[in-house]
Chains A and B, each alone.
Chain A
Amino acid sequence: MIRVEHLKKYFPVTQGFLRKKVLWLKAVDDVSFEIQDGETFGLVGESGSGKSTTGRTILRLYEPTGGKVYFNNIEITALSKEELKRIRPKMQIIYQDPYSSLNPRLTIFDIIAEPLREYGHENIEDRVLELLEAVGLSEEHAKKYPDELSGGQCQRVAIARALALDPEFLVLDEPTSALDVSVQAQVLNLLDSLQKEMGLTYLFISHDLGVVRYLADKVGVMYLGNLVEMGTLDQVFDNPMHPYTRMLLSSIPIPDPKARSLKKGVVIGEIPSPLNPPKGCKFHPRCPFYKPGVCDAKEPEMIEVERGHLVKCHFAGEL
């Protein structure tokens, strides 16, 4: 359904009074992956990894600097503004902060009705009620304003709005990060059942690997604008090959005191500024297996170490 080829998104960084461009911030740097019909692709990474930018660039909310994105074999990156508008209903996005993704001055009804009106749908009232029901809300919520609802309810409204135009593909950008765990579970279950009922395809962006394990089928791990490892859920979580993936996995607090990680000091250093990333493999200054002359000299290729399991490391499969 979605094919991303060598996607790049650079932001100019300007300085001083004359707004001179001094640097490029390479938020997404040569990222390629595919998402199959009805599948959930989890994109994980820490802040500055470029995972959110990737999601927005795929939807052309940001114009890509380079590379191609295909949606059902249509090259989205080559569409004109009018053509893009025709395809927009098929691809929607859900945001992290449920409050700021809803216009505070509109009622829930108007929020969900907006896309329906834009595309000239009929029976808007019935459709809005149907959508509210689909996300577990009821008619009484329709007259309210966002600040009269809880965070979880607002996120349901955002989901209803995204579903209004019968999309096929949803970008979920940290959809539960701002919610409490009990509410998070409700929203995750909702997303899961909607996917099954409507045959949706998800790009699920998250920093929380527990949540990704719950919802995703395949996983991509990003670090400083690069995809460093990609594979099925089990391949990446149970047999991580990239040193960064391993570091990330051993950093996650596990909700089980018996599994208290004995290994200390597995995390080395901090994420460098994406403005000035390290040469060669961007992870080399933090890597416990760093080999001078190799890792800091050449950027590694993405290597397929087993079927469907790709790793961007000079020593993939050897560590």
Chain B
Amino acid sequence: MKELLQIKDLYVNFRTLWGIAKVLNGVNLTIHKGEVFGLVGETGCGKSVTALSILRLLPSNAEVSGKILFKGENLLEKSEEEMRKIRGKEISIIFQDPMTSLNPLFKIKDQMIDVIMLHEGLEKERAIEHAKKLLKAVGLPADRVLNSYPHELSGGMRQRVMIAMALSSNPSLLIADEPTTALDVTIQKQILELILDLKNQYNFSVLLITHDLGVVAEVCDRVGVMYAGNIVEIAETEELFENPLHPYTRGLLSVVPDPRQKKPLKPLRGSVPSLINPPSGCRFHPRCDHMRDICKKAKPELIEYSPGHFVACYLYGGDLDD
């Protein structure tokens, strides 16, 4: 498989009133062509910041370093002008709440056509044709939806409109940031199925950001687990669920309630640390049952423990004392 996107040693700091928040602490990951890559983690782990860094949409109080290679070119070195061409055309993003990206005062038609005309350079008539085709592809009644205002549509329909707009210029990467978190489960099922169908049809890659391990298990090819600004484990989905290596991944998997059977939940100790004053070394060490001295001293690197299965933990080597 070929790499589409490679993130190398990505660090992001936010200057805040209370000090510098070290939100990303050297993130490394690769997304291949045509795959669905899931980025999973709890609130504040940095998964959304990773997505926004790719599109260079971070707020002005952020300091970014590292490399984000998209089709071999470093996005962090692009000019704002060049980025504008990449956003929406090469890389599209959909968010949890479609209402934040749709203007409530304009009909869907006006908003979609603006985007299509801008990116594709089509004239109005052709743009409307294109919009109709896209809306049909996401399973919406095109004519009715085009003439609706955002509030006249249900949450599921709005998310479909967002997907249609994201696909308007045939991107090679779709970033979906918690796309179904605000939706009911039956609607979530429809939207996830739709994203997979469209992926196979249009052949783009998906970076799916979610907190829901159920969603990951249902749709992702590979998964990266994030904790407090670090990727702690990357593996193919089945491998990760069957053979989790990192203590955090194991903990996470043991607290997900399973609707098929009642099982005891073994919660992790403590809670997510502050990123302004994060724990030294491995940021998970205060909550870890396998903590050793080295864990407090230096951050473990992400190593390939078995083919395709990466983990950042001294339990699996990298310990200088061994």
- Interface code B55-78, partner A: CB below 8 Å = 1, 0 otherwise? 000000000000000000000000
Cα distance A211–B214 when bound, in Å?
13
Q: Is the CB of B185 within 8 A of A256?
A: no
Query: A253 vs B186: C-alpha distance in the bound complex, in angstroms?
Result: 10
A210 touches B214 (CB 8 A): yes
Task: Let me know if A182 and B268 touch, CB within 8 A.
Answer: yes
**Inter-subunit contact A211/B184 (CB<8 Å):** no
Measured CB to CB, the closest approach of chain B to A232, in angstroms, equals 12
| Distance from B317 Cβ to chain A, minimum over Cβ atoms (Å) | 26
Across the interface, do B184 and A255 meet the contact criterion of CB distance under 8 Å? no
Find out whether the CB atom of B185 lies under 8 angstroms from the CB atom of A258. no
Contact of B217 among A188, A250, A253 (CB under 8 A): A253
Known A182-B42, A183-B271, A185-B267: A255·B258 in contact at CB below 8 Å: yes
Please tell me if B279 contacts chain A, counting CB pairs below 8 Å. no
Determine whether B154 belongs to the interface, using a CB cutoff of 8 Å to chain A: yes
Classify the secondary structure of A's interface with B: helix
Closest to A182 in B: B268
Q: Does B43 contact A (CB under 8 A)?
A: yes
B154:A233 contact, CB within 8 angstroms = no
Q: Are A181 and B259 in contact (CB under 8 A)?
A: no
Q: Is B118 an interface position by the 8 A CB rule?
A: no
Chain A residues with CB under 8 A of B276: none
Chain A interface size band reads: 35 or more
Q: Which of A18-35 contact B (CB under 8 A)?
A: none
Contact of B259 among A150, A188, A249 (CB under 8 A): A249
Partner of A259, one of B42, B43, B260, B271: B260
**A267 is contacted by which of B186, B218, B251, B261 (Cβ under 8 Å)?**
B186
* Contact status B156-A264, CB under 8 Å: no
User: Residues on A close to B: CB < 8 A?
Assistant: 46-47, 150, 152-153, 180-186, 188-189, 207-214, 233, 237, 247-261, 264-267, 270-271
Structural contact, B185 and A251, CB atoms closer than 8 A: yes
Residues from chain A with Cβ under 8 Å of B308 in the complex: none
A213:B211 contact, CB within 8 angstroms? no
* Residue of chain A at shortest CB distance from B196: A264
| CB under 8 Å from chain A, chain B span 167-213 | 184-190, 192-193, 211-213
What CA separation (Å) do A267 and B271 show in the bound complex? 37
**Which residue in chain B gives the minimum CB-CB distance to A249?**
B259
Q: Which residues of A have CB within 8 Å of B266?
A: 185
- What is the size category of the interface that chain B forms with chain A? 35 or more
Q: Which residues of B contact A208 (CB under 8 A)?
A: 257
Closest A-chain residue to B45, C-beta based?
A: A180
Assembled-state Cα–Cα distance A4/B57 (Å): 52
User: Which residues of chain B have a CB within 8 Å of any CB of chain A?
Assistant: 42-43, 154, 156-157, 184-190, 192-193, 211-218, 237-238, 241-242, 251-253, 255-263, 265-268, 271-272
Q: Are B265 and A257 in touch, CB under 8 angstroms? A: no
Q: Tell me if A213 and B218 are in contact (CB < 8 A).
A: no
**Measured CA separation A237–B215 after assembly (Å):** 20
Closest 10 CB pairs of A and B: A253-B214, A210-B257, A185-B255, A46-B184, A185-B267, A180-B42, A251-B189, A185-B265, A186-B267, A210-B259
The answer, among B187, B217, B267, for a CB contact under 8 Å with A189, is B267
B257 and A213: CB pair below 8 A? Answer: yes
Tell me the complex Cα distance, A213–B189, Å.
20
The answer to whether B184 touches A253, judged by C-beta atoms less than 8 angstroms apart, is no
Partner of B186, one of A185, A237, A248, A260: A248
Q: A46-B185, A257-B218, A258-B238 are in contact. List 7 more A-B contacts (CB 8 A).
A: A182-B268, A207-B184, A247-B186, A251-B189, A253-B189, A254-B259, A255-B213
B262 touches A214 (CB 8 A): yes
Can you name the residue of chain B whose Cβ is closest to the Cβ of A181? B255
Give the CA-CA distance A118 to B188 in the complex, in Å. 45
Nearest-CB residue, chain A, relative to B156? A270
CB distance from B126 to the nearest CB of A (A): 31
Whether B258 lies near A182 (C-beta < 8 A) is no
A150 to chain B, nearest CB (A): 5
A248-B218 in contact given A182-B252, A254-B259, A257-B237 (Cβ < 8 Å):
no
- For A47, the chain B residues whose CB sits under 8 A away are 184
Question: Which residues does chain A contribute within 8 Å of B157, judged by CB atoms?
Answer: 270
Asked if B185 and A252 make an inter-chain contact with CB atoms under 8 angstroms apart, the answer reads yes
Q: Is the CB of A181 within 8 A of B186?
A: no
CA distance A303 to B108 in the complex (A): 45
A214 partner residues in chain B, CB cutoff 8 A: 257, 262-263, 265
B218 contacts which of A184, A210, A261 (Cβ < 8 Å)?
A261
The answer for the CA separation of A214 and B260 in the assembled complex, in Å, is: 10
Residues of B within 8 A of A258 (CB): 238, 241-242
A184: chain B residues within 8 A (beta carbon): 255
A-B contact pairs, 12 of them (CB 8 A): A180-B211, A182-B252, A182-B267, A182-B268, A214-B257, A250-B189, A253-B188, A255-B256, A258-B241, A261-B218, A266-B189, A271-B184
CB contacts (< 8 Å) of B268 on chain A: these are 182, 185
Q: Are B217 and A257 in contact (CB under 8 A)?
A: yes
CA–CA, A47 to B261, complex, Å?
Answer: 24
Please tell me if the beta carbons of A254 and B184 are within 8 angstroms of each other in the complex.
no
List B contacts of A265 (CB < 8 A).
Answer: 193
